[in-house]
Amino acid sequence: MNNRTYNVNVASKELLPSPEEIKAEIPGTASAEANVINYRRVLHEIMDGRDPRLFAVVGPCSIHDTTAAIDYARRLKVLADELQDVLVLVMRVYFEKPRTTVGWKGLVNDPYMDDSFHIEQGVRLARRLLLDLNEMGLPTATEALDPIMPQYFGELIAWTAIGARTTESQTHREMASGLSTPIGFKNGTDGSLKTAVNALKSARQPHHFLGINQDGRTAVFQTRGNPYGHIVLRGGNGRPNYDSVNVALAEQALHEAGLPAHVVIDCSHANSNKDHNLQPLVARDCIEQVVNGNRSIIGLMLESNIEAGNQKIPADRNELRYGVSVTDACIDWPTTEQTLRDAANLLRPVVLARRAG
């Protein structure tokens, strides 16, 4: 092969263990599998209107410390059990972070946060954490960014998001059509709905695309299409879109496209003007819409951590503050508890009436 034309801009390459090899090293368990199957079914039933509850994807903007993630999960599990009559709490477990230019790309890509990019170790940490969370009885949610990663731990995920930067990507729409989870497509960073609506239409259809199989070999995948896609409103271009007018516009766009009117509200990002302290206000507004008769809002997203705010990654990793986000700012645990308890109290009469009706 002519080396002057092959991989000209590639400095090096390193073989990654196949999904099958990683799974043999960190095998799934019967209890984790049962948990995933159960919560995927629950989410399907919420979207089909057979379960009157709402779901909430709650957790850190990104995972950088698995010890803190387990600490957070134990707290969330207690709250999930307390509010399970009206809310299904799903832990946000994001391992990959899309960057506008450059920056830390997440636990999978750079687990030591020092640009060493020990991806093999990152995959192991991610899979081990997901397994632990499912064995605790918590459902998990993540963003599908790299199309190869679902082969390594996708069977441990209950709900998946496609981010605002990748909703327009053909690769991600094709991948979504084959994912085993319900899938939320975020509206574009400019706030437009058209990209997400088109993505939903695409993901519901069968596709053929290239990927890797469990042996790590390149394969052509044929999908059935994913019927459990929905839109995630996250605001955009400096403007929110969680209010009743924008929700009605989303309903109209989905109806005109022949899609189910299923809407999840992301209480962070432009919907909170990138101010984490405003997330509870956004959540309350959305819950009040449901109380006032809205049937399209099926869930919320909250960026939440043990402590509030965020921090820059210090040169000395020992100076990292425990339980504080290194990406987007989050609300703290007490605020999370209060926000979700308030939501449950408002929703309880609605859920009871839906069950009775």
Q: What percent of the chain has pLDDT over 70?
A: 98
pLDDT at 152 over 90: yes
Hey, CA dihedral for 270, 296, 281, 158, is it positive or negative? negative
List the Cα angle 167/243/100 in 5-degree steps: 35
CATH placement of domain 20-356: 3.20.20.70
pLDDT at 34 over 60: yes
What are the tokens at 75?
């707290």
- pLDDT tens, residue by residue, 41-77: 999 999 999 999 999 999 999 999 999 999 999 999 9
Which pLDDT score is estimated for 1? 56
Which pLDDT score is estimated for 101? 63
- pLDDT tens, residue by residue, 181-235: 999 999 999 999 999 999 999 999 999 999 999 999 999 999 999 999 999 999 9
Assign residue 98 a region (left: φ > 0; alpha: ψ between -120 and 50; beta: otherwise): beta
For the chain, the domains span 20-356
